[in-house]
Structure 1
Amino acid sequence: MIDIPEQISTLWIAAASAAFLAKHFLADFLLQTDWMAAGKERPRGWLPPLAAHAGVHGALTAALFLAVSPPLAWLGLADAVVHGILDRLKSIANRHLQVTPRQTGFWWLFGADQTLHHLTHLGLAVLLAAAGSAV
């Protein structure tokens, strides 16, 4: 069980939130290869590139927890699974709606996807900050 205290250090919340924003930028943009980005969007053969992309997210999340609270490093796997599901759902919706970057619907889906990732990270940041505040 993960214990979240009633009070968490403001400094820890700010630091954990910033760490997850940086982690997301690294994993979703700087470390995502063309193979991952294009491959996860295909109707077939999408699993290996999506798994690799989500695995990068999971590994970076695990690294953050390893630095603060090693017993919670398993949350990296949870993050990878959630990230992969969200990206796959966005891909299916993009294909179903047949939207391109020149259409508003594409950006609505992109924005929803990014917002859901950031909400996931907000939850993870609270857990990281709670663990850090307890130290």
Structure 2
Amino acid sequence: MDQYSAILLLFAALQIKHLVADFFLQNAKMIMGRERYWHMGRTQHAAIHVVLSALCFVMFGTAPTLILWIVIVEFVVHFHIDWGKARFSVDNKLTPEQPMYWYAMGTDQALHQLTYIAMVWAWLAFS
């Protein structure tokens, strides 16, 4: 497989992973109370993301040490992106009826996508 195809397929795998982890595998425990910094549900949610990301990188033959570094950084970043959005949403009492709620949701999702760009860059740079 050429490098361009591998990059596109890795991005596709990370997109599918994100859909599954962010929307299909979240439950009420992971969502409720996420504005608190130390929140077990958000920790579990970020852990699901890193396990699925690790599987994506395994499928592309990535060295275990590189996978470990990538997912450690992803965990920290994902945890804080979600905490920031939750804190902002609760502080501003946002509901889906308000445009600012969707701005916060869109910003959250864009930051996650930028994280995947950084992860693929690390994969390219250090593989």
1:48 is aligned, of 40, 46, 70, to: 40
State the match for 1:58 in structure 2. Answer: 50
2:92 and 2:21 mapped to 1: Cα distance?
26
Pairing of 1:16-35 with structure 2 (within 5 A)? 16-35=10-29
Task: Decide whether the 8 Å contact of 1:90 with 1:113 is kept in 2.
Answer: yes
- What secondary structure is seen at the aligned counterpart in 2 of 1:73? helix
State whether structure 2 residue 119 is matched by structure 1 residue 127. Answer: no
Q: Percent identity?
A: 32
1:12 and 1:126 mapped to 2: Cα distance?
12
Q: What TM-score, normalized by structure 1, do the two folds share?
A: 0.81
Extract unaligned runs of 5+ from structure 1: 1-7
Counterpart residue type for residue 16 of structure 1: L
- Greater Cα shift, 112-121 or 32-41: 32-41
1:116 and 1:55 mapped to 2: Cα distance?
17
- The offset of 1:34, in angstroms, is 1.9
1:110 is aligned, of 91, 96, 105, to: 105
State whether structure 2 residue 80 is matched by structure 1 residue 80. Answer: no
Aligned residues: 123
2:20 and 2:110 mapped to 1: Cα distance?
16
1:90 is aligned, of 85, 107, 126, to: 85
In our comparison, the structure showing a higher alpha carbon Rg is 1
- The offset of 1:105, in angstroms, is 0.3
State the match for 2:6 in structure 1. Answer: 12
Counterpart residue type for residue 27 of structure 2: T
Counterpart residue type for residue 82 of structure 1: V
- The offset of 1:66, in angstroms, is 2.8
Counterpart residue type for residue 97 of structure 1: N
Instruction: Please tell me the root mean square deviation across aligned C-alpha atoms, in Å.
Output: 2.1
2:94 is aligned, of 82, 92, 99, to: 99
- The offset of 1:39, in angstroms, is 3.8
Task: Decide whether the 8 Å contact of 1:16 with 1:126 is kept in 2.
Answer: no
